């Protein structure tokens, strides 16, 4: 295809762009049947009610305080030779490196924080959302070193941290009769993912000494806590997940989930309809659909294609029927790839000069 440089003015290019993107695609098709499995975000639905219901139910299935204790070699002893009078005997004596870590999250009824967020609909009659839980906790690390019944070193350190848990929950609506209870519309309440972590580790005291000295030695205590961290996180996660899954079976929670499912179904229908209408208005260059350029590079490419489109139209209308009558000009050739993937390949632009043919 041959195009003379400067054939279309910039104002005409912009007018063509606006008119092209303003047209509706005459070949646009209705929503695909696959829309039933389309994932849709639902940010406009309030979640305060289900948050309150879940929190109350979770607190009922959690203890007043969660205490996790781990230890290594604590209470270890070894046989030691001892002399009583003139008789030698073997007795058991404390020996080795003893270590114990205890983590307590107290008064959960006052300290537990919960937030339900990121509601979405992964499919028809299904919703998924995330739950964030947080609670403060106190950590006590105790170490003792024994040598054949003699205690050489003993340290006790205290710190505070935050237990954070993030869960992904999915539920769906079942097909039930009209006279069944509203809570029976919830068919399942399942956990699709969970992650628990310890954050904001702050040393409070080491052997009863606090202040700046404790902060200076705090990195040593945090290093001593690291080997126990994943075990403590795992135990907290197990307790939290069990409580959330059990809370999903409470009648108040199931009723709240049913209301949320109904509201999500209506919002999902509106969202899919909006997506379909927006997609139908993005057609340009015939059946080809593309969005407006978002960067300078995309704008340059888009205007160049408009030049090609306009040049092709002018040649088709017979404006330049005989190239031999034109003067010696600088001509650009736009060579398209051999296959038909015009939407994915920009082609190769080459430049050379052509002289008019003699009659």
How do the domains of the chain map onto residue ranges?
A: 2-25+285-354, 37-275
Q: Could you say which residues of the chain have pLDDT below 70?
A: 1-36, 174-187, 209, 211, 213-218, 282-359
d(CA 169, CA 130): 6
- Cα–Cα distance for residue pair 292/125, rounded to 1 Å: 34
pLDDT at residue 163, rounded to an integer: 96
Q: What is the pLDDT of residues 15-36, one digit of tens each?
A: 444 444 444 444 434 445 556 6
Nearest Cα to 268, choosing from 125, 118, 116? 125
Residue 189: per-residue pLDDT: 82
Looking at residue 210, the DSSP 8-state letter turns out to be: -
- In order of 129, 223, 258, 334, the CA distances from 172 in angstroms are 12, 44, 9, 54
Distance, in Å, from the CA atom of 204 to the CA atom of 214, rounded to the nearest integer, reads: 7
3-state secondary structure at position 140:
strand
pLDDT digits (tens, 9 = 90+) for 126-175: 899 999 999 999 999 999 898 988 899 888 889 999 999 999 999 887 65
pLDDT for 123: 85
Classify domain 37-275 by CATH architecture: Super Roll (3.15)
> What are the pLDDT digits (tens) for 70-101?
998 898 888 888 877 777 788 888 899 999 99
Is the four-CA dihedral 63, 65, 71, 75 of positive or negative sign? negative
Instruction: Look at residue 175 in the predicted model and tell me its pLDDT.
Output: 56
> What's the number of CA atoms in the CB half-sphere (13 Å) around residue 23?
17
3-state helix, strand, coil in the chain (%, to 5): 35, 35, 25
Cα distances from 250 to residues 16, 165, 253, 255, 312, in angstroms, run 61, 21, 5, 9, 69
Is the pTM higher than 0.75? The answer reads no
């Amino acid at each position: 295809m041959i195009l003379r440089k400067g054939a279309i003015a910039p104002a005409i290019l912009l007018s063509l762009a606006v008119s092209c993107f303003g047209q509706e695609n005459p070949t646009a098709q209705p929503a695909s049947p696959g829309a039933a499995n389309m994932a849709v975000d639902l940010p406009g639905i309030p979640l305060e009610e289900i948050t309150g219901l879940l929190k109350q139910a979770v607190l009922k299935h959690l203890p007043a305080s969660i205490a996790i204790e781990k230890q290594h070699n604590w209470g270890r002893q070894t046989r030691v030779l001892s002399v009583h009078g003139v008789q030698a005997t073997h007795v058991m004596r404390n020996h080795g490196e003893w270590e114990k870590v205890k983590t307590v999250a107290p008064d959960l009824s006052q300290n537990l924080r919960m937030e339900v967020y990121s509601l979405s609909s992964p499919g028809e009659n299904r919703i998924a959302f995330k739950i964030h839980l947080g609670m403060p906790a106190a950590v006590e690390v105790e170490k003792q070193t024994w040598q054949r019944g003699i205690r050489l070193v003993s340290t006790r350190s205290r710190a505070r941290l935050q237990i954070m848990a993030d869960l992904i929950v999915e539920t769906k609506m079942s097909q039930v009769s009209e006279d069944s209870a509203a809570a029976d519309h919830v068919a399942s309440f399942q956990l699709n993912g969970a992650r628990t972590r310890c954050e904001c580790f702050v040393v409070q005291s080491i052997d009863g000494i606090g202040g700046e000295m404790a902060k200076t030695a705090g990195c040593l205590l945090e290093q001593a806590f690291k080997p126990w961290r994943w075990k403590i996180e795992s135990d907290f996660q197990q307790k939290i997940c069990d409580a959330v899954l059990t809370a999903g079976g409470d009648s108040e929670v199931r009723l709240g989930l049913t209301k949320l499912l109904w509201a999500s179904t209506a919002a999902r229908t509106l969202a899919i309809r909006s997506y379909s209408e927006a997609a139908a208005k993005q057609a340009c260059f015939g059946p080809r659909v593309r969005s407006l350029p978002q960067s300078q590079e995309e704008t340059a490419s888009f205007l160049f294609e408009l030049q090609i489109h306009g040049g092709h139209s002018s040649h088709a209308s017979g404006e330049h029927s005989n190239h031999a009558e034109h003067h010696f000009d600088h001509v650009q050739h736009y060579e398209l790839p051999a296959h038909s993937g015009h939407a994915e390949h920009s082609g190769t632009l080459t430049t050379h000069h052509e002289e008019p043919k003699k009659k």
